[in-house]
Structure 1
Amino acid sequence: MIGQNIGLRYLIPLALDKLDENILADGDLYDGDLLQVVLKSDKEYWKAERENWKRMCGIFNRDISLLESHYNARSIKEEWFSTFADFKKIN
């Protein structure tokens, strides 16, 4: 539902709890797909919920080395980092 921008006010905090425990938590497809869908979710939500935006940035920055060293395909890793670069520009 996050990927469809439905219920973000309720679902993003739950997703952040999950990502805080394990940034590579998977949704349905692969390790880290929850991270990707959260980072790509509606920019207006993140503008309105700046504290959650800060929290997501903190989680990502804390776990950069884990993301870099994970066995996922290079293209997936590149997408995480490129999506996060765009995400940081929101606020």
Structure 2
Amino acid sequence: MLSQGIDKTKTIEELEGNRWPDPPSDATYLVQSVHELRRRPIEDLGVDGLRRLITQNVGLRWLLPVALDHLRETAPIEAESGFYDDDLLHAVLTRTEEIWRNSPHLAHHLDETINLLTDILPDMQRLITEWRAPLFDMRMMTEDGSRLADWGKHVTRTHQSPSGEFQVHFYYNKVTGKILPFDYKIVFKAN
């Protein structure tokens, strides 16, 4: 379990060591509920509370592993019943690419969980496909034993072309000297 080392009896405020002030009296329901959920023990959040906080990028360090464990635990039920609650899966899948690049073990866990699902709605399948696209980069970048931290964005010197000056932006592995062959772009300088 990914969340095994997380003390679920604690609140996000306790884990972060950061108590937010009370929201203004005219705050929206969403703002009020996020403040309240941060003060609730993780074990008492429920799926809706997890989804709401994750969607607002609150406490992701602790909540993503908890959510991923829940998704893994409920995946076999989907295979039996044909029903899967997509709301939490949607919240998790729509976190930024940077989050998944910085936590490849979480991305791998989620990818394995998705592979357990058998009856995925077309809109969710599209979202999964979009989420998996950068993961292909991560797999390619680490299949030779490299770490993601070995890779970095690099830029060539400025070149001249009939269309103007440009640079090539690409990923380079400082340890192996490899260049990622498909994730690069040409950037023309504005005149």
TM-score by length of 1: 0.74
Q: Which has the higher strand share?
A: 2
Does residue 79 of structure 1 match 2:79?
no
Distance 1:90 1:14 in 2: 23
> Can you give the 5+ residue segments of structure 1 that lack an aligned partner in the other structure?
25-29, 69-76
Q: Give the number of aligned pairs.
A: 76
Partner of 2:134: 90
Partner of 1:27: none
Q: Which amino acid aligns with 2:88?
A: L
Distance 1:31 1:44 in 2: 25
Partner of 2:112: 58
Distance apart, 1:20 and its partner CA: 0.5
Partner of 1:35: 89
Distance 1:31 1:52 in 2: 20
Q: Which has the higher contact order (CA 8 A, sep 6+)?
A: 1
Larger radius of gyration: 2
Q: Which amino acid aligns with 1:53?
A: A
1:37-83, Cα deviation, whole Å (9 max, x unpaired): 111112211110001001100000121x1x34xxxxxxxx2221111
TM-score by length of 2: 0.37
Distance 1:61 1:44 in 2: 22
> Can you give the 5+ residue segments of structure 2 that lack an aligned partner in the other structure?
1-52, 79-83, 136-191
Distance 1:62 1:87 in 2: 16
Pairwise CA RMSD: 1.7
Partner of 1:19: 71
Q: Which has the higher helix share?
A: 1
Which consecutive aligned stretches of 4+ in structure 1 deviate over 4 angstroms post-superposition?
none
For the residue of structure 2 that corresponds to 1:6, the secondary structure is coil
Partner of 1:71: none
The percentage of counterpart residues that share the same residue type is 30
